[in-house]
A and B are shown apart, each in its own frame.
Chain A
Amino acid sequence: MSKSYTLDELLAIAVAKEINDYENVVLGVGVPMTAGALAKALFAPHATLMMESGIVDIRPLLSLNNIADAHSCKGFSYATDLFSAFTATYRGFVDVCFLGVGQVDKYGNLNTTVIGDYDKPTLRLPGSGGAADFISYSKRTVLTMRGGTFVDKLDYLTSPGYLEGGDSRDKTGLFPKGSGPSALISTKGIFRFDPVTKEMYLSQIHPGVSLENVRKDIPWDLKVAPDLTETMRPTDEEIDFIRDFAPELSAGRQLAVELRAAYQMEKSRLHCV
């Protein structure tokens, strides 16, 4: 029996397995960065990891604070600019990218801009950043979900998935054939997209999670793969890598925030006395 793991660790490990050796990979901060580092260390040693800020072939030493964090790298091979990082994606040189989810619908369209009215927002989310352009032109896009929600209708369409489903994405003529979201990975399971209808279905379920538990987050009648499999338990090596590299991910958002606050209090107190 291997070590026990947290759901965030399981998520990052599942995400890492979406990276194949020799691929060109665009990472974001948080789960994707950790997944990229894990993949590079354990099963895709020749993958080229890059960030949209133009740092390419990075060797991350610790989890990056942001997408331009060269401080956390042992080095990088190519320092280009943001403009060229995106035109390289546009030309088809990026195999896989990773996007976080605010709202997502059944066709993998994403909202990371706003909840409620655009001009008078209930919740103003970050916005597109690079997301809309990456999911448009990366060969594959893996969606990672820690805090987002499944909805029937997005409040705002930031990043195009399969639009209305079927061949609607291809029919626009705006995107390379075959591009679009290839998977959505949450702390409950792995979802993929039907090759014809492009509707999201549950392809793999994480150990200990029930189908009801997956369905309760999803407002539509979720389809489930006839050959639904269970996600493999992570190995000790995978778990140890994550705890070394990104202990804050292992801690999880809530605990990390609490621990940081307590440690900061302690530091200020020490100085004041």
Chain B
Amino acid sequence: MGEVNSKVMRAKEAVARFVQDGDELVIGNYTVGSCAELVYEIIRQNKKGFTLYSQSGIFDVEVLVAGGCVDRLVSTYVMRSGGKKGGSAVERALNAGTLQIEDYTNFDYNARLVAGMHGFSYMQVLEGVMATDLFRKRGFMGEDKFRVIRCPYTGKDTVTVPAANPDVCVIHVQRADEFGNAQYWGAMGSVAAAALASKKIIVSCEEIVDHEIIQSSPHLTIIPAYRVNAVVEIPWGAHPTEVLGYYNLDYFMYNGLFSSAAATADGLKEWMEEWVYECPDRPSYIEHYIRKFGTAALDEIKAKPLYSAPANYGSAFHSRWDRNGKERSMGVTRVQLENLLKEKGKLYE
């Protein structure tokens, strides 16, 4: 698919090429629009031994943990299906001793990636955490979870977290061009920092658009092409989570089927068998969904258009030469300029 050096490829190839066993892997999305298909592909390729970073720890973390891909988890939030009586893959793995966890606050977690994104070795965080067990209780990071330094300007104790620079970020966005310029809008969360802190970036998107569309709306671009390793076009790539402007949360699949399944180990295993392992890619997943539940379920959650008012990026002129052929500030034509240069002996043969 595509040219030899093109970044456009299938999920299968992107994951095989850029995700390695034992990587520090970060899920770029925060709470909404998670990169479901990239995550499922990682599980299908049976990648192992990750230190997984996830700000929001939703279904994506649950399936990666249940798929046996994760040794260590850095997060701020653990999903629990079915309330107190239910359960979570993370809880089960902790109790089985197959997973270690490091708990941060939302800010502290994000600060590690912001530090990494800017090339700093640490970031100052909000000192209130020192009064909590988040600060006192250290997991696999030990002393390096937080360190306290003295601010050279105020003399006050300052809490810091170490920079994170994950090996690879997987992320789903609304649209991108073939070069990897990735556009995302809505709740910004910590999406840009997660991607930009990482050494490699795999972008999946609802659609690949012309480069001109990106050029006309640069404020929507959160990852520049030069940082991106792979671009994968995956319509419905975040399902059952939502993508603003494309589709809503699939309540039926997420809060219904997935959540009831994820409450128990067997239930989740069965769900993953059906929706992860037996669907080799997103088109077959969607096909399976439609065969099982009909098209109405998906039609119901498709977004209706609500366009942002266009911003005017126009300027007064696009050439140094005015309509009479005169240079706008010097007032000479191109020929006149060249004659002058010749007269003054500035031109060399």
State the A residues within 8 Å of B (CB).
51-55, 65-71, 79-83, 86, 90, 113, 118-121, 123-133, 135-137, 147, 156-160, 163, 169, 172, 174-175, 253, 260-261, 264, 267-268, 271
Q: For residue B187, which residues in chain A have a CB less than 8 angstroms away from its CB?
A: 51, 53-55, 67-70, 79
Closest-CB distance, A246 to chain B (whole angstroms): 14
B75: Cβ under 8 A from any A Cβ: yes
Q: Given A124-B80, A156-B133, are A271 and B294 also a contact pair (CB < 8 Å)? A: yes
Q: Given A131-B105, A271-B294, are A68 and B186 also a contact pair (CB < 8 Å)? A: yes
Q: Which of A67, A81, A119 contacts B94 (CB 8 A)?
A: A119
Complex Cα distance, B127 from A13, in Å, reads 33
Q: For residue B108, which residues in chain A have a CB less than 8 angstroms away from its CB?
A: 133
B130: Cβ under 8 A from any A Cβ: yes
Q: Given A68-B30, A70-B244, A136-B126, are A129 and B91 also a contact pair (CB < 8 Å)? A: no
B161: Cβ under 8 A from any A Cβ: no
State the B residues within 8 Å of A (CB).
30-32, 55, 57, 75-80, 83-84, 88, 90-91, 94-95, 103-108, 110-111, 114, 126-134, 137, 185-193, 242, 244, 248-249, 251-252, 255-257, 260, 292-294, 296-297, 303
Q: For residue B244, which residues in chain A have a CB less than 8 angstroms away from its CB?
A: 70-71
Once the chains bind, are B189 and A68 in contact (CB under 8 Å)? yes
Our count of residue pairs bridging A and B at CB distance below 8 angstroms stands at: 179
Once the chains bind, are B293 and A67 in contact (CB under 8 Å)? no
Complex Cα distance, B106 from A65, in Å, reads 18
Q: Given A83-B114, A127-B78, A268-B293, are A174 and B107 also a contact pair (CB < 8 Å)? A: no
Q: For residue B78, which residues in chain A have a CB less than 8 angstroms away from its CB?
A: 124-127
Closest-CB distance, A259 to chain B (whole angstroms): 12
Q: Which of A121, A132, A260 contacts B129 (CB 8 A)?
A: A132
Once the chains bind, are B111 and A83 in contact (CB under 8 Å)? yes
Once the chains bind, are A118 and B137 in contact (CB under 8 Å)? yes
Q: Which of B127, B130, B192, B252 contacts A264 (CB 8 A)?
A: B252
Once the chains bind, are A68 and B133 in contact (CB under 8 Å)? no
Q: For residue B55, which residues in chain A have a CB less than 8 angstroms away from its CB?
A: 82
Once the chains bind, are B30 and A82 in contact (CB under 8 Å)? yes
List 27 A-B pairs, Cβ < 8 Å.
A65-B242, A65-B251, A68-B30, A68-B186, A71-B242, A71-B249, A81-B191, A81-B192, A81-B193, A82-B190, A83-B110, A83-B193, A118-B133, A121-B94, A127-B77, A128-B76, A128-B104, A128-B106, A132-B129, A132-B132, A133-B105, A172-B131, A174-B130, A253-B83, A264-B257, A267-B297, A271-B293
Once the chains bind, are B188 and A120 in contact (CB under 8 Å)? no
Closest-CB distance, A17 to chain B (whole angstroms): 27
Complex Cα distance, B48 from A159, in Å, reads 34
Once the chains bind, are B188 and A132 in contact (CB under 8 Å)? no
Q: Given A124-B90, A157-B132, are A53 and B30 also a contact pair (CB < 8 Å)? A: yes
Once the chains bind, are A129 and B106 in contact (CB under 8 Å)? yes
Once the chains bind, are A121 and B192 in contact (CB under 8 Å)? no
Q: For residue A55, which residues in chain B have a CB less than 8 angstroms away from its CB?
A: 186-187
Q: For residue B57, which residues in chain A have a CB less than 8 angstroms away from its CB?
A: 126-127
Q: Which of B80, B84, B249, B257 contacts A147 (CB 8 A)?
A: B84
Once the chains bind, are B94 and A159 in contact (CB under 8 Å)? no
Q: For residue A125, which residues in chain B have a CB less than 8 angstroms away from its CB?
A: 78, 80
Q: Given A79-B187, A271-B294, are A128 and B103 also a contact pair (CB < 8 Å)? A: yes
Closest-CB distance, B141 to chain A (whole angstroms): 14
Complex Cα distance, B114 from A159, in Å, reads 23
Q: For residue A82, which residues in chain B have a CB less than 8 angstroms away from its CB?
A: 30, 55, 106-107, 110, 188-190
Complex Cα distance, B131 from A268, in Å, reads 50
Complex Cα distance, B242 from A62, in Å, reads 15
Once the chains bind, are A133 and B129 in contact (CB under 8 Å)? yes
